[in-house]
Amino acid sequence: MATLIIVSNRLPINVTKRANDLHFQRSVGGLATGLSSFRDSHHSQWIGWPGIATDKISEHQKQQISNKLKEQNCHSVFLSAKDIQNFYHGFCNKTIWPLFHYFPLYTMYEDRYWQAYKQVNKAFCDAVIKIAEPDDYIWVHDYQLMLLPELIRREQPNAQIGFFLHIPFPSFELFRLLPWRTSLLSGLLGADLIGFHTYDYVRHFLSSTARIVGTEHSMGSLTIGNRIVKADAFPMGIDYDRYSGAVEDQKVKKRLTTIRKKVGERKIIISIDRLDYTKGIVQRLEAFDLFLSQNPEYKEKVTLILVAVPSRTDVEDYMELRKQVEGLVSRINGEHGVIGWVPVWYLYRFLPFEGIAALYNAADVALVTPLRDGMNLIAKEFVATKTDGKGVLILSEMAGAASELGEAITVNAHNKQAIIDAIKEALEMPIEEQVERNRLMQKRLSRYTVTRWANDFLETLSDVKKTQQQLSVHKLTKPIREKLINEYEKSSKRLFLLDYDGTLVGFAGRPEKAGPDEGLFALLQSLAADSKNEVVIISGRDKATLNHWLGNLNASLIAEHGAWFKDRADVWRVIEPLRNDWKDTIRPILELYTDRTPGSSVEEKDFSLVWHFRRSDPELAYLRSQELKDAVLNLTANLDIGVFEGSKILEVKNIGISKGQAAELWLTKQKWDFILAAGDDYTDEDLFAVLPESAYSIRVGYGISKARFNLDSVYELRLLLEELVKK
Ligand code: G6P
């Protein structure tokens, strides 16, 4: 049975040391809970950091930790104090965390942090490779391990890898600030499925991949080499039954009674978070302060219980925040409090489940106003706990949870007056309305629980894998490759029909920069030098460029997708009389669009005009290309002219002309006993369509094609041709 290997920075068990004794504490994080039923029914292993620095423990204790955790199917990746400093506090929590939460001013760009991030991701990779079998599912979690998918992929090219980001993925405008943005993206793209909490984060991720890596998506799917990579939204849920059943728990009941006794008839507002600057705790306190000033009738009638869970206490920004929060709490209590009434009850500690559940139950209002939050499960837990339907959630629109909890009172967490008004509205909301709103949210939360979330993600991962396998059915496998080589060796009349860009060379930012390198030139020269071979380069390029780059070869050339051809040393000929007077009408339109789209350019050939936009902003270029297509089609409706979309180009040319038509000239020339044709885009499909069944047609890259076989890359095709040349 396939094993699920979960990889996250922290293991679900945290190890601490007190007076030289090791303590093992189970954490009840959402992820651990979400996967628990899955973990019971499937084999699973968890890889992560046990939470303690190796410098603090002896070799023997390290062994002890490993052994004890292994009993629970957990594998430790140990970090030294220096790793913790540079990787965890550094790159994770001073670089990625602030930037991805829209705090660029808190973001530090330090090369030593980046070096540590790479090294720790590598250590995680080694741990995965040690236990992973080929058909296992590997599920990597969160921003601490963004390089891991690619690192694993390098070691195990066919592994099934999922990645889930638990924090926001920022807009391109922020992501682009990272000096290591390309490496991080290519790290993530090693996965088969990349999950986010909301569709906004998916959008931001896809826009960054388009702008930085240059890969466009189609309905969230990207083609990376020979793999389809999917990005999608999976809003993480909670263990609904646990929270909705909490009122029945004796321990919770006891705590609830204590709270009620202490607070009396006053209304309770709760605020529970890790003490983190993204949570908007300061702004929330300031709003509560103003609420009391603006609504003095609420004095002594309401208590704010503020729970701040200690977090990342070694990072300066967090130390600073603690001071600020504590200063504010004492100021508010000092200014508004009276004997017998303390407006803010402040707890700086971790609370166990019973404590939290009792607070949720006791509260009239939950104030959840992060400035940015990937999801925020507190909001969901609060709603789930309210079995009698009473209680009001005030939720920041900047939390991922806001897209699912539309019945909450939503606020802009930076707008203090909006928070003040929301508090008042919440305290005064009629019970029937509270119940109605909560019931709708509860229905939703009880359906998409954390278990559903985990299953949904893993099922989608398996579907992506299936799609990849369907595509790779056509892959030029080793046995087919051997057969091809064998037939080549036995034959004496061989025809090669080879496309140029994207097939023999990769794409360049500027098309004129994609000339043949020495290796390619030598390869084509040897191929064409064999008297048994006829080599035809069949390209969309203009004839002058082809002549300049490849004219010295003993090969034939076809230019402009078949409009021109040159049989070896012969002169260039037009395939049929063609008109090109339409160019004068179309050219000014293309030029107008070029002016309006920075980075784009017009290429003019004898019988076609091409609008290139590889170097333009992808979204703007897409929009403009659709407009341009419409404009040109309107003008050419009664001519024999068509508009074709290629790889970051729009080409206007005569409809009848195709690579297929030109290839026929060679196909009918004589009886070939070996034909190999290769191409990479839609113009090559016309070529594949006219080949006899016995021909080896190869599409470089993946996607639906008429070609019989696929190869991953230009590199692989060149390797194959090199092998033939040596025969
Ligand atoms: C967020 C992150 C998690 C992280 C948690 C606690 O929820 O997405 O990856 O584990 O905060 O932070 P810590 O720094 O204590 O691991």
**pLDDT digit string (tens) for 503-558?**
999 877 677 788 999 999 999 999 999 999 999 999 999 999 999 999 999 999 99
* Residues 3, 135 contacting (CB under 8 angstroms): no
116 Cβ contact partners less than 8 Å away, ≥ 6 residues apart: 82, 83, 85, 86, 87, 90, 91
Q: Which numbered atom of ligand 1 lies nearest the CA of 93?
A: 14
In this structure, which residue's CA is closest to atom 6 in ligand 1? 311
Q: Which numbered atom of ligand 1 lies nearest the CA of 144?
A: 9
37, pLDDT greater than 70: no
Tokens of 373: 């939050």
* Residues 701, 714 contacting (CB under 8 angstroms): no
Q: Would you call 267 helix, strand, or coil by DSSP?
A: strand
Question: Average pLDDT in the 703-715 region?
Answer: 88
Q: Which one, of 164, 178, 172, lies nearest residue 98 by Cα?
A: 178
In this structure, which residue's CA is closest to atom 8 in ligand 1? 166
What is the whole-number distance in angstroms between the Cα of residue 70 and the centre of ligand 1?
Answer: 23
What is the whole-number distance in angstroms between the Cα of residue 93 and the centre of ligand 1?
Answer: 9
Task: State what percent of residues in the chain have pLDDT above 70.
Answer: 98
Per-residue model confidence (pLDDT) at position 165? 98
Q: Which one, of 21, 138, 33, 18, lies nearest residue 68 by Cα?
A: 21
pLDDT band at residue 30 using 50, 70 and 90 as cut-offs: low
In this structure, which residue's CA is closest to atom 7 in ligand 1? 166
What is the whole-number distance in angstroms between the Cα of residue 10 and the centre of ligand 1?
Answer: 8
What is the whole-number distance in angstroms between the Cα of residue 174 and the centre of ligand 1?
Answer: 21
Per-residue model confidence (pLDDT) at position 712? 85
Tens of pLDDT, residue by residue over 196-206, are 999 999 999 99
Tokens of 110: 């330090």
DSSP secondary structure code for residue 706 in this structure: S
Q: How many other CB atoms sit within 10 Å of the CB of residue 206? A: 21
pTM over 0.75: yes
In this structure, which residue's CA is closest to atom 12 in ligand 1? 311
Query: Ligand 1: which of 52, 77, 167, 315 to mutate, judged by most atoms within 8 Å of the beta carbon?
Result: 167
Per-residue model confidence (pLDDT) at position 29? 62
Per-residue model confidence (pLDDT) at position 473? 65
Q: How many other CB atoms sit within 10 Å of the CB of residue 360? A: 24
User: What is the C-alpha to C-alpha distance for residues 40 and 237, in angstroms, rounded to an integer?
Assistant: 19
| Alpha-carbon distances of 343 from 43, 185, 269, 309, 323, rounded to whole Å | 50, 47, 10, 20, 19
Q: List ligand 1's pocket residues with C-beta within 6 A.
A: 9-10, 142, 166-167, 311-312
Residue indicated by tokens 């930076």: 414
Residues serving a catalytic function are 499
What is the whole-number distance in angstroms between the Cα of residue 166 and the centre of ligand 1?
Answer: 9
Q: How many other CB atoms sit within 10 Å of the CB of residue 561? A: 29
585 Cβ contact partners less than 8 Å away, ≥ 6 residues apart: 635
Per-residue model confidence (pLDDT) at position 28? 58
* Weakest mean pLDDT among 63-67, 240-244, 500-504, 577-581: 577-581
244, pLDDT greater than 80: yes
What is the whole-number distance in angstroms between the Cα of residue 560 and the centre of ligand 1?
Answer: 56
In this structure, which residue's CA is closest to atom 9 in ligand 1? 142
Terminal-to-terminal C-alpha distance of the chain = 44
Q: Which numbered atom of ligand 1 lies nearest the CA of 141?
A: 9
**Burial readout 677-714 (b: 16 or more C-beta within 10 A, e: otherwise):** bbbbbebbbbbbebbeeebbbbbbbbeebebbbbbbeb
Q: Which numbered atom of ligand 1 lies nearest the CA of 143?
A: 9
Query: Ligand 1: which of 9, 10, 85 to mutate, judged by most atoms within 8 Å of the beta carbon?
Result: 10
Phi-psi region of 502 (alpha: psi -120 to 50; beta: other; left: phi over 0): left
Query: Ligand 1: which of 83, 89, 95, 142 to mutate, judged by most atoms within 8 Å of the beta carbon?
Result: 142
